[in-house]
Amino acid sequence: MTNFRPRTITEYLQLIWRRRLLFFLIAAGMLTATFLFVSQLPSIYEARATVVTAAGQNDRQTVNSRVAATTERLTSRSFLEPVISRNDPYQNNGNIDASIARIRQDLKVDTTYRNDYPERVTIAYRHTDPAVAAAMAVELVSAFGNMNEAMAKQAEESASSLASEIVQVENRLREMGKLRAAISARQSASGRAAGAVSAIRSQRIAAASSVETLSDKQFSLQQQIAEQKRQIEEQEKITRLAPSDAKSGSSYGVLLVRKAELEAQLKDYGSQYTDKNPKVVQTRTQLGEINHQIAELSAGSDPGSAPSNSAEARELRAMQRELNKMQTELAVTQRELDRKTQASGGAPALALADTSAAGFSSSGAGPLEPNADYDTLRKRYDNLLNRQDQLERMQVASAGLDPGVFQIVDMPAEPKVPIGPNRWKYRLFGLALALGVALLVAFALEVPKLYSITDDRDVEYYLGVPVMALIPETTNPVEGRSPRLLVGRAVGSLLILVLLVAVFLLLRYPQVFTQFASLR
């Protein structure tokens, strides 16, 4: 037959029901083996620990690196070898590689982040022995304690180094402060000396300018006096030859008016100037000449003298008064010139002394490197103090916890209740598997009959004629027992094979069931 008659679900069930004995035998055997496997699975215990991180906002990068380094260290060979030598959790008789592989498989490390910051680290270790699970979890958590101790030791060394460095910087700052004060004092003295030198130099320049001006004035007065004397000599010659006019009343009256004016002017000068003032001296000289002229006019002219009331005589007397005025001015200029010369003569020595003092202060101040390095050293001192404050904050306990970056808030404890395996789940899975395999075997054995004629419906389908009668099948006792014996033997052999395989796996590879049980 190349095809088979389409059948209903009822017919398929009837087809399988024909192999009901085989179906129940296979399902019972596999279910029994599965239940035995599940009952032999060891219980898995899990020891857990929780570690939180505590650090400031500025230390997040450091905390990230510390957490990454510590979690990687938990599975490193250098860390696990001493742990295995102390505990030997898997009884591998020194097989370090196998133990490390099993620990890495049974260890689970979860890091909880908040805004890219490691907030909490959870360590979980599973083992069939609760005491071993707790001991191994304590060993694993000790890595965080060791990290805290290492960081505390490093912080102490850093604090000691910072303290000594701060003392050195403070000493240098103190020395540089004294040096800056000395330099400032020297610079102040140098400034004062430079100011004094500048003032003296200005005085010298002013005195030199005054001396030159007075010298020029003195020379000019000397030339004018010489010229005036020459003119007076010529005027005296002219006066001797002039006619006398002693009885001129107008000249006598003019002299009296002039005398009165000079006396009034002298009285006014007496209240304002001293007797040595040039104006007072000049007024007195003119008054004396007026008195002399009045006396000559009153007494008359002497024989052989020049006439005193002539115009030439009056011109001569005016020239003599001008000469006296020039001589007086020359005397005053000479005294002023002598005083300026004396003042400018002592200034060079003083200026030289002040200049040398200023030069000593400038040279004694030395280089200005301390002033330039003081600000840099001060910034370094401030940075050292900030680092010291940060170390002190890291060493102080926060929120009642121990100091350090890692705070172990949940220490590992010996678990009392196993977390696996879930035997009910495995038993249900074994039941479904047994039923499925039995159903598949029964159906596979009946599939060939789908292509053969087995009942009247097949005859009607393939021949296209109705069935009129059925002849019942008859067998002898031997033929009736032979198929049943064959089926019983097959099922028994299958059960024995399944049990032997299960026992072999259970005794030879117990880790297979342990790994299977670790699944949730």
Residues 38 and 73 in one domain: no
Q: Which residue has the higher pLDDT, 40 or 2?
A: 40
Give the span between the Cα atoms of 91 and 102, in whole angstroms: 11
Whose CA is closest to 33, among 460, 509, 494? 494
Per-residue pLDDT band for 518 (boundaries 50, 70, 90) equals low
pLDDT for residue 50: 92
pLDDT for residue 255: 79
Q: Is 44 in contact with 126 (CB distance < 8 Å)?
A: yes
Residues 401 and 324 in one domain: no
Cα 310 to its chain centre, rounded Å, is 108
Q: Which residue has the higher pLDDT, 497 or 63?
A: 63
With respect to residue 77, please indicate whether it lies within any of the assigned structural domains: yes
Q: Which residue has the higher pLDDT, 364 or 315?
A: 315
Residues 71 and 131 in one domain: yes
Cα 358 to its chain centre, rounded Å, is 44
With a cut of 90, say whether residue 124 has pLDDT above it. yes
With respect to residue 445, please indicate whether it lies within any of the assigned structural domains: yes
- 78: CATH: 3.30.1890
With respect to residue 458, please indicate whether it lies within any of the assigned structural domains: yes
With respect to residue 278, please indicate whether it lies within any of the assigned structural domains: yes
Whose CA is closest to 132, among 85, 87, 99? 87
pLDDT for residue 503: 57
Compute the radius of gyration of the chain from its Cα atoms. Answer: 69
Per-residue pLDDT band for 350 (boundaries 50, 70, 90) equals very low
Q: How far is CA 372 from CA 52, 107, 367, 369, 381, in A?
A: 48, 60, 10, 5, 15
- pLDDT tens per residue across span 436-486: 888 888 777 777 766 666 667 766 767 777 877 777 766 666 555 566 666
Per-residue pLDDT band for 310 (boundaries 50, 70, 90) equals low
With a cut of 50, say whether residue 358 has pLDDT above it. no
* DSSP string covering 174-217: HHHHHHHHHHHHHHHHHHHHHHHHHHHHHHHHHHHHHHHHHHHH
| Average pLDDT of span 319-337 | 84
Residue with tokens 């510390």: 66
Residue 65's domain spans which residues?
A: 45-164+388-410
Burial 471-502 (b: 16+ CB within 10 A, else e): eeeeeeeeeeeeeeeeeeeebeebbeebeeeb
Which pair of structure tokens corresponds to residue 442? 């029964």
Q: Is 336 in contact with 214 (CB distance < 8 Å)?
A: yes
> For residue 7, what is the DSSP state?
-
Residues 27 and 95 in one domain: no
Residues 337 and 227 in one domain: yes
Q: Is 5 in contact with 458 (CB distance < 8 Å)?
A: yes
With respect to residue 357, please indicate whether it lies within any of the assigned structural domains: no
pLDDT for residue 153: 81
With respect to residue 485, please indicate whether it lies within any of the assigned structural domains: yes
Residues 30 and 52 in one domain: no
Q: Which helix (H) or strand (E) holds 408?
A: strand 406-410
- Tally of CB atoms within 10 A around 48: 20
- pTM for the model stands at 0.49
Percent of the chain with pLDDT over 90: 5
| Highest mean pLDDT of the ranges 9-23, 55-69, 417-431 | 417-431
> For residue 44, what is the DSSP state?
B
Residues 296 and 403 in one domain: no
With respect to residue 60, please indicate whether it lies within any of the assigned structural domains: yes
90 contact partners, CB below 8 Å, separation of at least 6: 98, 99, 102
pLDDT for residue 361: 43
Give the span between the Cα atoms of 175 and 198, in whole angstroms: 34
Residues 29 and 50 in one domain: no
Mean pLDDT, the chain, as a whole number? Answer: 76
pLDDT for residue 107: 92
Long-range contacts, 203-211 (Cβ 8 Å, 24+): 203/343, 203/347, 204/344, 204/347, 204/348, 204/351, 207/340, 207/343, 207/344, 207/347, 208/344, 210/336, 210/340, 211/337, 211/340, 211/341, 211/344
Give the span between the Cα atoms of 44 and 511, in whole angstroms: 12
Residues 290 and 230 in one domain: yes
pLDDT for residue 47: 92
Number of compact structural domains in the chain: 3
Residues 316 and 222 in one domain: yes
| Average pLDDT of span 8-26 | 74
> For residue 18, what is the DSSP state?
T
With a cut of 80, say whether residue 318 has pLDDT above it. yes
- pLDDT tens per residue across span 125-156: 999 899 999 999 999 988 888 887 887 787 78
Residues 33 and 49 in one domain: no
Cα 459 to its chain centre, rounded Å, is 98
Residues 138 and 37 in one domain: no
With a cut of 50, say whether residue 347 has pLDDT above it. no
Whose CA is closest to 511, among 44, 30, 74? 44
**CA torsion angle 125 131 132 138 (round to 10):** 60
pLDDT for residue 393: 67
Give the span between the Cα atoms of 71 and 69, in whole angstroms: 6
Q: Lowest mean pLDDT: which of 66-75, 165-174, 236-245, 448-457?
A: 236-245
Q: Lowest mean pLDDT: which of 47-56, 346-355, 382-391?
A: 346-355
